[in-house]
Amino acid sequence: MMLELIRHGWGVESSAFRQVYTNLFLPDGTLEQVDWFNDLQRISTSPELAARRFEATFRLDLRDLAPRVRVPTLVLHARRDAVVPFEEGRALAAAIPGARFVPLESCNHVLLEQEEAWPSFLSEVRRFLGVEHGEDPGFDRREVAALTPRQQQVLFLVAEGLVDREIADELSISEHTVSRHVADVLARLKAPSRAAAVAKALRSGML
């Protein structure tokens, strides 16, 4: 039913069809936020491409891959999310070794800055990135600028979510060399984790 609504109502001027979709994602949104989300749907892609994207998402099954994840993982999920059931978020976190699961007191799939869950969301993300109180007092953009071109390439691919083996294939180097580059990046950026290194690169404007 959702796919048919997308195919027939996504790109039309009237927001009646898209409103069904919007109400699932932003049930507590203001009128301005709801209008913005409706317009974003209409201008972002065609109805057919939107339907194909969601159909692919519905068919995606990562249960066999989740246990192989070996990077720090944070899963945040709204308790009353109408798009993805809360228990699915809990199941995803349970399937990834060492993942931290954080429930958010919200019914919005897209979290909104005016709701009570927003400060909790920011706090958890900052804690995960190693920046618990806003800007890292030890942050120095020169550290990021000092990375070699190869180290920057590796960090970019880490930010894309690739593991060492995939980075090695992408750059035609050995997996051992990738691990060494990652270790050098963490040391140069004084970052305790890959996530923290990516966060520094994002704040510097490199990514």
Q: Is 90 in the same domain as 108?
A: yes
Tell me, what CATH number does 176's domain have?
A: 1.10.10.10
Q: Is 120 in the same domain as 80?
A: yes
Q: Which residues of the chain have pLDDT under 50?
A: 134-135, 137
pTM of the model: 0.61
- Is 54 inside any structural domain? yes
Looking at residue 14, its pLDDT comes to 66
Residue 173, CA atoms < 13 Å, CB-side half-sphere: 14
Total domain count, the chain: 3
Looking at residue 137, its pLDDT comes to 45
**Domain range enclosing 151:** 141-204
Looking at residue 206, its pLDDT comes to 66
Domain end among 42, 59, 76: 59
- Is 136 inside any structural domain? no
Closest by alpha carbon to 159, among 106, 114, 108, 200? 200
- Is 135 inside any structural domain? no
Q: Is 181 in the same domain as 145?
A: yes
Q: Is 8 in the same domain as 50?
A: yes
Looking at residue 15, its pLDDT comes to 63
Q: Is 107 in the same domain as 55?
A: no
37 Cβ contact list (under 8 Å, min separation 6): 22, 25, 26, 29, 110
